[in-house]
Amino acid sequence: MADAYAGRRERVREHCSAAGADAALITRAANVRYLTGCAPCGASLLLTRERALLALPDDLPPDDTGEHLIAPDVTRLPVAAGSDTALAAAAAATRSGVSGLAVEEHDLTVSRHRAVGDLIAGTRLVDLGRTVERLRVVKDEHEIADLRIAAEIADQALGELLESILVGRTERHLAMELERRMIDHGADRAAFPVSVGTGSHSGQAAHQPTDRRVEEGDFLTVVMGAQYRGYGVSTARTFVIGAAPAPWQVELHRLVFRAQRAGREALGPGVEQCVPDRAARQVLEAAGHTEPSPHPVGHGIGLEIREAPRLGPADMGKLDSRVPVTVGPGVHLPGRGGVRIEDTLVVRPLEEGGPELLTITTKELLAL
């Protein structure tokens, strides 16, 4: 991995040189981790032509796990607890004689940007933009391996829950249990707050669990993901509780399943980002389900739960190979409930088997 981190930092240096800067100040937590292996801790990275200097709080507990090793060719700069690591890194840039410093303006607050500028008066500040985020879009096989493990953890936790008694338990309790099970199976944490929706709450994209209890005949939608070594996945499944599903539940689940499959099958290198969304949306619209404000069918995923690219109806960029994305259409019928089905996949060319499915829990309409 040390070589991978070094290669990533070298690509950032090349961008800085092209922009007329001889150093970069990286402050966005996911970007610092991508370039150094350092888990999020308030650290900032100064990247000059000669070295990588990681400013990090001096009160951090030691990492005994061996899972978040900082690249060995990165020099550490301890910073007093409560002090701004970005300012410490900027001061080091001044001492190094940096003449042009590229910063992540989209991450720095106005006050931090002003403080950095005051500290390095005489040094030209330029915007690094989303250079590192663009580098992060295409994953290497080390990153994809971590995503596979995260997906296995999420699938295992969900599979265990489905074997337990669900009737009478609250959405909130089920969400907490899923988070605990993922951690028990080796996750860093849940990749995002688990959403469990039952009955009229089912099928919603961003439902916050309540004290509503699971009842016979309910739809039950679970939206969840595990994070492993910083990399997260997302998956959603919808089941029916107790008795055999009602005809309208079978029909709605079959429709969303078809839409999700159409979106998955549309993935491929060189495909415009809007195509998977269009493929899934056409299935739903043909059945009379339209959204007044369409949500993208999916998005990139990795060190952050929402990364580039976005798979929305107006997104015109093209997909690359080895880009992990989510595909998750859904339909919610107010007052009745709904269905949401989502997977995390890695874009692959057809000669490699096509899209690689990471989240493999069954998408059948199980009666639990």
**Residue 219 belongs to a domain with what CATH number?**
3.90.230.10
Residues 62 and 82 in one domain: yes
Confidence at residue 311, expressed as pLDDT on a 0 to 100 scale = 97
- Starting at the edge strand found earlier in the chain, the sheet holding 52-57 runs 74-79, 52-57, 44-48, 23-26, 100-103, 124-127
Contact 253, 365 (CB under 8 A): yes
In a domain, 362, yes or no: no
Domain identity same for 92 and 145: no
The half-sphere exposure of 64 on its side-chain side, counting CA atoms within 13 A, is 1
**Same domain flag for 205 and 338:** yes
Residue 368 falls within a domain, yes or no? no
**By residue range, what is the domain housing residue 88?**
1-136
**For the chain, how many structural domains are there in total?**
2
Residue with tokens 């000059």: 48
Asked if the structure places residue 191 within a domain, the reply is: yes
The answer, as to whether pTM is greater than 0.75, is yes
d(CA 197, CA 205): 10
CA distance 192 to 362: 21
If the chain, 368 residues long, is cut into consecutive pieces of 10 residues, what is the mean pLDDT of each piece? 90 92 96 91 94 91 59 91 94 93 96 94 92 97 97 98 94 98 97 98 94 97 97 98 93 98 98 97 95 86 97 95 98 96 98 97 95
pLDDT (0 to 100) of residue 65: 43
pLDDT, position 67: 52
Residue 17, C-beta contacts closer than 8 angstroms, at least 6 positions apart: 49
Q: 104 and 67, same structural domain?
A: yes
Is 364 inside any structural domain?
A: no
Residue type, 356: E
Asked whether the beta carbons of 149 and 224 are under 8 A apart, the reply is: no
- Same domain for 146 and 128, yes or no, is no
